Amino acid sequence: MTTHTVEVPGGRLHVVDDGAGPPVLLLHAGVADLRAWDAMVGPLVAAGYRVIRYDARGYGRSTTEDVAFSPRDDLRAVLDALGATRAALVGNSRGGGLAFDTAIESPERVVAVVGVAAGIGGFDGGATPEEERIFEAYEAVDEADPFDAAALTDFETAVWGDGPGQPAGRLDKGARTLLAEMNLPLNDPARVKGREVKLDPVANERLAELRCPVLAIAGALDFSEVVETARHLAADAPDARALIWDDVAHMIGMEQPERLASEIVTFLEPLDRWN
């Protein structure tokens, strides 16, 4: 394992690099940092891939000033700093949205995308009445006065770790503890996040430009919108398919890392080798 610091305008990105072979870049969720992928690294390296991870601005050990920035520029800066001309992108949740955005904006840099409980900019898959009630409770905790970061972290650990409406503690205790540990600092009101410049037009209006192979994996224990996003990609992107697993929620790489890694390896195996 090698660590790097990549300087970007107004910030510094903490990067971890493992293994050798075609680069696979892992992009974490908005309630986590690069440690969410810890259990995925070994299987992917053993399969012959170079595994690169980084903390996005304002997450984990990466820092930012209060500046406007493009997360696609940051992603490309990481690849450039590590000498990776092209990469397969694997993104969980917000990381999946970033992967799709980058594949649209810079198709020459992306050989394939695996969206893991991923979002698509501009797509709304709807919500059930029970999910609407969960969102209302979520908003109430997030906007409570006085604000309680620990309470919000507990709520998010239940929703994104166990799954909406799932039994408390369904997620393995170790993974649950790590998720809360990663997320608590992100709920600090003093945290500096920078101001993200969104892809314009949004990805959902440009799915025809998403020409690389795409695999969208979602869990039936997640919000229904996540499942609908995967199905939407399979139906409307040029080269995409969806896998819906009935026994996982949102943090699939933490919940079933060996299974997810195996699926990624199977998906990437037919592609010509890249660097």
Report the C-alpha gap between 18 and 161 in whole angstroms. 26
Helix (H) or strand (E) holding 66: none
pLDDT at 14: 98
DSSP-derived secondary structure letter, 256? S
pLDDT at 275: 87
pLDDT at 9: 98
Report the C-alpha gap between 95 and 130 in whole angstroms. 26
| 24 neighbors 90 (Cβ within 8 angstroms) | yes
pLDDT at 181: 98
Regions of the chain with pLDDT less than 50 = none
Reported as a single tens digit per residue, the pLDDT across 188-242 is 999 999 999 999 999 999 999 999 999 999 999 999 999 999 999 999 999 999 9
pLDDT at 147: 96
Question: The CATH number of 2-125+191-268 is which of 3.40.50.1000, 3.30.380.10, 3.40.50.1820, 3.40.190.10?
Answer: 3.40.50.1820
First to last CA, the chain: 18
Degrees to nearest 5, angle at CA 89 with 84 and 94: 130
pLDDT at 157: 97
- Output the pTM of the full model: 0.97
Reported as a single tens digit per residue, the pLDDT across 140-159 is 999 999 999 999 999 999 99
For the chain, what are the domain ranges? 2-125+191-268, 129-187
Q: Please give the torsion angle defined by the CA atoms of residues 144, 174, 258 and 18, in that order, rounded to the nearest 10 degrees.
A: 90
Report the C-alpha gap between 118 and 91 in whole angstroms. 7
